[in-house]
Structure 1
Amino acid sequence: MSMIHDDTLPDLKRLTEILRILAKYEFGSVVEKIGLKNQLPLSERFKKGSSIDEFDSSVSERLRMVLEELGTTFIKLGQILSTRPDLVGEELAQEFSKLQDSTPAFEFEKIKSVIEEQLKSPLDEVFSKFNEVPLASASVGQVHQAVLKNKSNVAVKVQRPGLERQVNQDIRLMHYLADLIDRRIPKWKYYNLPGIVDEFERSILKEMDYGQESRNSKRFKEIFKGDRTVYVPKIYNEHSTTKVLTMEFIDGVKVRDIMESDGSEDKFNRKLIAKRGAESYFKQILIHGFFHADPHPSNIYVLKHNIICFLDFGMMGSIDEESREDLAELFIFIINNDVNGIINQLIYMGILSESVDRKSIKYDLMDLMDKYIGTEIKQVGNVLQDLSSSNILEKYQIKFPKEFVLLSRVITMMEDTGQKLDPEFNGVEIAKPFVKKLLVRKLNPARLLDFIGENIFEFEHLMKIFPRSISKTLMKLEEGKINIEMEHKNLDIISGSLDRITNRISLALIISALIIGSSLIMQTNKGILLLGFPFLGIIGFVISAVLGMALVISILRYRQI
C-alpha cells in the first residue's frame, strides 16, 4: 500500500462529521482557529469551546471520546499515540491507552464474500468447517475458528469490508487537518502533527497488510527455532492474502486470564512463565533486534508445560546492532545508578547535545533517580519510561528516537506482567546474561574482521579517492587558493598576553642597546667627565639599570619567571 499524502480536497461530508464531533466535545475554538468554522452546521457554530491555549482538566478524556466516536482510523491513531508520551505527554498517553479496539461483529455473509474473493474459491472448498460466530471482533477485522480440508484446526483472520477505503479517506483528512493546524496554530508546531500523521500512516498500513504480518511471523519463528520454551503458530500461506490470514488455532490460556485468576486452580507455574516471557523479550530485543511490539497480556498465550505462545504480529519493532549495544551500555549505567555514565551515554547515542549544561542536567537526573537510591533496581523499563516521559525532555529539548520510546514501553509492559505473575520478579537479573552476551560479542577481536568484511567496498572507495583528494589539496595550497575559516574563543585574553610579551622583548632589546652603547662611550674618555668617566656613559648605565629593574618587577608580578 502506498503512502496517502496529496493536495486534493478531502471528502467534505466526512470532514464536516469530524468538525461536528470536535465541536460537540467543546473543541470549537480549534475549528475556528484553523478557519473551518463555516463547515460546521449552524447549530454548532456558536457553541463556546475550550481555549486552545489553556485546556481544562477534562481535555484528555474529551479527546479520547472524540477519537472513539470517529471510529477505526482515529482509534488506531490514539492507540499508537498512547505509546508516545514523549510526543503527547504522560497524561494524554495514559488516557489514550484506555481506547478499546472492539466493535460489533459484522455479518457472516460479508465475511464469506471477502474470503471467497481473496482465496478465489468457494468457502466450502477451502474449509470443511467454518464457525460463523467470531472468536473476536475488532475495528480492523475479526477472527473465526475453522477446519481445513486436511483436518487442520485453524483461526481465520478477516479484514473488515470497506476498511481500506475508509482508512485512506481518513488519513487524507488527517494530513489536511494536521497541515492546517501546523500553519495556523504556531504554539502547536512543537508537536509536529504532520510528522505524527506520517508515522501513523506507515504503522496502520502495515497492520492492515496481513501479508506483512505473515512475513513477521515467519521471521519471529526463526528467532526461536530450537527453543522449546516459546512457540509460534504456523501460518498457512496458501490460504492467506493481504486481507485474509489463516493460522494454526492455539488452544491455550491467555496470560491475562492467568494474571486475573486467584491462583487456586492454576495448572501453570507463574514464576516460570514470568521468567520465560522476560527471557524471550530480552532475546528478541538485545540479541536479534526484532521484537513483538504489543506485549499485551491478551496477545500472549500459555500452552501445556508453561510454553509461551505469541499471537498478532501486525505491530513489530526493529533496532539495529549498534543501537542494541548502546542500549546495553545504558542498561549498565542505569542499574549502577551512575548519573554521569547515563549523561555520557546519552551524548554518545546522539540523544543529548554535547553543548548541554551538564551540571544542570546532572542534578535533574539525580532527582529522577532519587527514588531508586538505596534500593535494588529490578525493573529497568520503569527507569527508561521515567526518562522518556519526564519534564527533562522539554527542558533540554530532547527528542528520543521512536525506537527508544517504543522499547521502553515494551520492556515496561513485559516487566509489569512479570511482576503481577511473580511478586519476586527481577527483570534486571534476567536481562544481565543477554547484556553480557551482547557486550562480549562487541569486544570480540573477530568483530574487527567482520567490520572490515562488511565495509570492504567503503575502504576500497576511500583508497581510490584519498590520493586524489590529497593531490587536489596540495595544488590549491600551492596556488594560494585555500581559504581557512577560524572561530576564535578568548582571543582578547590571548591578544593581551601577546602585547605583554612583545613589550617585554622590546624593553629587553632597548636595555641591551643602552648597555652596549654606554660601554662604548666609557672607552672614549671624551666629553664631560664625572669621576673620570664620560657623563653620557654613566647616564646610559643608570637608565639601563632602572629599565632592567622595572622588567624584573613586571616578570615577578605575573609569576612568569
Structure 2
Amino acid sequence: MINMNIGPYNNRPDMGRLREIIRVMTKYHFGNILEAVGLKNRLFETLKLYIKSPEEVHEPAHVRLRLVLEELGTTFIKLGQVLSTRADLVGREVAEELAKLQDEAPPFPFEDVKRVLESELGVPMEEVFAEFQEEPVASASIGQVHRARLRNGDAVAVKVQRPGIADTVKSDIILMKYLAKLANDRVPGLRYYNLPGIVAEFERAIRKELDYHQEANNVERFRAMFMDDETVYAPYVYREYSTGRVLTMEYVDGVKLTDILKSDIKFNARVIAERGARCYFKQIFIHGFFHADPHPGNILVQKGNVLCFLDFGMMGHLDRSFRDRLAELFILLMNYDVNGIVNQLRYMNILTEETDLEEVKYDIIDLLDRYYGADVRKVGEILTEFTMPGMIRRHRIRIPRDFVLLARVMSMAEDLGERLDPRFNGLAVAWEMTHKLIRNRLNPLRNLDEVPAAIIELEHIMNDLPRGLISALQKLEEGKLKMELEHRNLDEISVRIERSTNRISVAMLVSALIIGSSLVTIPREALILEKFPFLGIFGFAVSFLIALALIVSIIKSRRLS
C-alpha cells in the first residue's frame, strides 16, 4: 500500500512549487485569478525572476486551462482528468477540453525500473523473468509498461511505478489544499464549487491509482464478472509478482480501437459496437461496477471481435437500489414520461425539497425535445445535460458523483458506437436489458438473496430492543430522560410574541389611564386648581402620547414586515 498520509510535520506548501504555479498561470493570462486570491502581489518580486515577458495566448480560457495543467505535470494532469468527469461542476465545454489531456511522459531509465522491481519483489529480476524488454511499450506520468516473459514461459505486461512519483503527488496535493482553501476564503463566487471538496475527491482518486493493489483488485473483479462471456475479456493478474508499485498481468495481443478507427483494419465494426454497448449496460445495470474510462486506447479488439479492456485505475460503483431506480428512469426516458421522470428523480434523491417541480418539469420537456426525433439514441447525452451546472443551480438539485461519472461514460460509449457504425443504436440493447432487469425484480425468488441480510438485521433489532426499552424506562422513572428538540425560527417567533405582549400591556395601561382620568375629572372628586381638573387633563395627555407612540410603532412594524 502506498503511503499517502500527510502528517502535521510536512503539511506546509512547497513555496518553490508555488512560484512555478504562479509563473505558469501568469504565462497563460490567469493573473486575475492570482490577484483575486491575493497571490500575485505577494510574490510579484519573485515572479520577476521567472517571467521575462509573458507570451501572448489567444486561445479561449478553457483551452488555456488545459495548457496550464499540462505544463504543471503529473498531479495537475490527473486533476484535470478527474475534473473532465465532473461536467456538473465545470460545465461541458471545460470538461470536454480537459478530456483531451494525455497522460504521457518520457520513459524513465531501465536502471530505475530494475531497482523498483527488485526492491518490490525482494529477489533479483533474473529469478522472476526469463526475458524483460528494456524499452517500454507505453509510458505515462505515474508508471510505464514493459513486455516480459516469466520463468514458466508466460508472456506478461509489467507495469512499474515511476520512482518518487508518490512524494511528488503528495507535495502537490498539500499545495492544492492550500490554494483551494485560499480561493474558497477570498473569492465568494468560488464557494459554490466547493474547491476543498474537489481536492479531497481528487486525493481519494489518485490514492487508488497510486496503489497497484487496488488496480489488481479491479481487474480481477471485472474478469470474474465476464468469466462466462466469450465476447469480453480482461487480463489475468499474477498476484505473486504484483505489489503496490508493480503490477504483472497477462500480455494480451490485440488491436487498439484507436487504430481501428483510424485505419482500414478488417473488423466487424457493427458487432464491436453492439458488444461494447451490451458489455457496458451489463456493467452498469447488472453488476454496478463499471470501467470509468472507455477511451478507445483502453480497449483492445482480439480475433473474433472479442473486446479486451485495459487500465482499471478508474472505476465507478452503483449500489443495487440505485441500479433499480436507474433502470426505471431509462424506461421512463425512452417512453417520454415526463411526470414519471420527475417522480423517479425524487425517489433517487436527486430533486430536493427546494426544487420547484413544475419548473423542473418544463426544463425536462425542453431537454427531451432537443433529443427526441424519429430515432432516439442519446440517453447518455440527456443525462449529461441534466448534470450541467446551470440545471443544478437553477433547480437546487443534488447529483451523486457516480451519476455524473455514469452520464459521462454512457455519452462516451454512445459516441464510440456511432464512430464505429453510424447506424448503430445502443438504446435497443438498453431497452432489452432494462426490461429484463424490471422483470427479474418481479420474480419472488429474487428476494431470497436478501433474506440472510434481513435475518441478521432482525436478530440485531431483537437483541437491542429489550435493552433499549429497559434503559429508557429506568431513565423515565428516575426523571433523567432527556429529549432534544430541533427548532427552526423560534427566536423570531419569540421576539414577535414578546413585542405583541408589550403592546397589549401598553394598551391596557393607556386604557387604565383614560378611565382613571375620566373619573378624576368629576368635580366632586377632582383636584381643582382655579376650577380646572388638572390631574384628569394630565392623565388624558399622557394617555394620548403613549397611544400615539403605540400606533406609530405598529404602523412602522407593518411596513417593515
TM-score normalised over the length of structure 1? 0.79
Distance in 1, matches of 2:53 and 2:442, equals 63
1:30-81 residue CA offsets vs partner (Å, 9 max, x unmatched): 33333333234152799999xxxxxx98221221111111100000000110
Could you tell me which residue of structure 2 aligns to residue 179 of structure 1?
Answer: 181
Identity %: 52
Could you tell me which residue of structure 1 aligns to residue 60 of structure 2?
Answer: 58
Distance in 2, matches of 1:85 and 1:409, equals 8
Work out whether residues 235 and 250 of structure 2, in 8 Å CA contact, stay in contact via their aligned partners in 1.
Answer: yes
User: Which structure has the greater CA radius of gyration?
Assistant: 1
1:136-173 residue CA offsets vs partner (Å, 9 max, x unmatched): 11111111111122121111111111101101110111
Distance in 1, matches of 2:370 and 2:359, equals 19
Give the AA of the match of 2:246: V
Could you tell me which residue of structure 1 aligns to residue 12 of structure 2?
Answer: 9
Work out whether residues 294 and 409 of structure 2, in 8 Å CA contact, stay in contact via their aligned partners in 1.
Answer: yes
Q: How does 1:504-543 map to 2 (within 5 A)?
A: none
Could you tell me which residue of structure 2 aligns to residue 82 of structure 1?
Answer: 84
Following TM superposition, by how much is the alpha carbon of 1:380 offset from its aligned partner in structure 2, in angstroms? 1.8
Following TM superposition, by how much is the alpha carbon of 1:370 offset from its aligned partner in structure 2, in angstroms? 0.9
C-alpha RMSD of matched pairs (Å): 2.9
Following TM superposition, by how much is the alpha carbon of 1:375 offset from its aligned partner in structure 2, in angstroms? 2.4
Q: How does 1:136-285 map to 2 (within 5 A)?
A: 136-261=138-263, 263=264, 265-266=265-266, 268-285=267-284
Could you tell me which residue of structure 1 aligns to residue 508 of structure 2?
Answer: none
Following TM superposition, by how much is the alpha carbon of 1:484 offset from its aligned partner in structure 2, in angstroms? 10
Distance in 2, matches of 1:382 and 1:361, equals 18
SS at match of 1:301: strand
Could you tell me which residue of structure 2 aligns to residue 127 of structure 1?
Answer: 129
SS at match of 1:359: helix
Distance in 2, matches of 1:401 and 1:381, equals 16
Distance in 1, matches of 2:119 and 2:410, equals 40
Could you tell me which residue of structure 2 aligns to residue 522 of structure 1?
Answer: none
Give the AA of the match of 1:290: F
Could you tell me which residue of structure 1 aligns to residue 48 of structure 2?
Answer: 43
Could you tell me which residue of structure 2 aligns to residue 409 of structure 1?
Answer: 408
1:23 aligns with 2:22: no
Distance in 2, matches of 1:295 and 1:64, equals 21
User: Structure 1 residues 278 and 269 mapped into 2: Cα distance closer, same or farther (>3 Å)?
Assistant: same
Work out whether residues 90 and 389 of structure 2, in 8 Å CA contact, stay in contact via their aligned partners in 1.
Answer: no
* Runs of 5+ unmatched residues, structure 1: 50-55, 488-561
SS at match of 2:392: helix
Work out whether residues 20 and 44 of structure 1, in 8 Å CA contact, stay in contact via their aligned partners in 2.
Answer: no
Q: How does 1:124-523 map to 2 (within 5 A)?
A: 124-261=126-263, 263=264, 265-266=265-266, 268-389=267-388, 391-463=390-462
1:33 aligns with 2:36: yes
Give the AA of the match of 1:133: E
1:495-527 residue CA offsets vs partner (Å, 9 max, x unmatched): xxxxxxxxxxxxxxxxxxxxxxxxxxxxxxxxx
User: Structure 1 residues 351 and 47 mapped into 2: Cα distance closer, same or farther (>3 Å)?
Assistant: farther
Distance in 1, matches of 2:183 and 2:176, equals 10
1:67-119 residue CA offsets vs partner (Å, 9 max, x unmatched): 11110000000011011100111121112112111111122222222112222
Could you tell me which residue of structure 2 aligns to residue 98 of structure 1?
Answer: 100
Shifted more, 352-361 versus 81-90: the winner is 352-361
TM-score normalised over the length of structure 2? 0.79
Give the AA of the match of 1:337: Y
Give the AA of the match of 1:29: N
Distance in 1, matches of 2:422 and 2:277, equals 14
Following TM superposition, by how much is the alpha carbon of 1:466 offset from its aligned partner in structure 2, in angstroms? 6.0
Distance in 1, matches of 2:60 and 2:418, equals 32
1:117 to 110, 116, 119: 119
Distance in 2, matches of 1:388 and 1:271, equals 30
SS at match of 2:146: strand
Work out whether residues 329 and 341 of structure 2, in 8 Å CA contact, stay in contact via their aligned partners in 1.
Answer: yes
Give the AA of the match of 1:317: G
User: Structure 1 residues 336 and 132 mapped into 2: Cα distance closer, same or farther (>3 Å)?
Assistant: same
Work out whether residues 23 and 47 of structure 2, in 8 Å CA contact, stay in contact via their aligned partners in 1.
Answer: no
Distance in 2, matches of 1:318 and 1:210, equals 19
Give the AA of the match of 1:208: L
Following TM superposition, by how much is the alpha carbon of 1:125 offset from its aligned partner in structure 2, in angstroms? 2.8
Work out whether residues 299 and 310 of structure 1, in 8 Å CA contact, stay in contact via their aligned partners in 2.
Answer: yes
Shifted more, 379-388 versus 95-104: the winner is 379-388
Shifted more, 20-29 versus 405-414: the winner is 20-29
1:161-198 residue CA offsets vs partner (Å, 9 max, x unmatched): 11011011101111111111111111101000111011
Could you tell me which residue of structure 1 aligns to residue 75 of structure 2?
Answer: 73
Work out whether residues 72 and 140 of structure 1, in 8 Å CA contact, stay in contact via their aligned partners in 2.
Answer: yes
Q: How many positions carry a matched residue from both structures?
A: 478
Distance in 2, matches of 1:325 and 1:145, equals 42
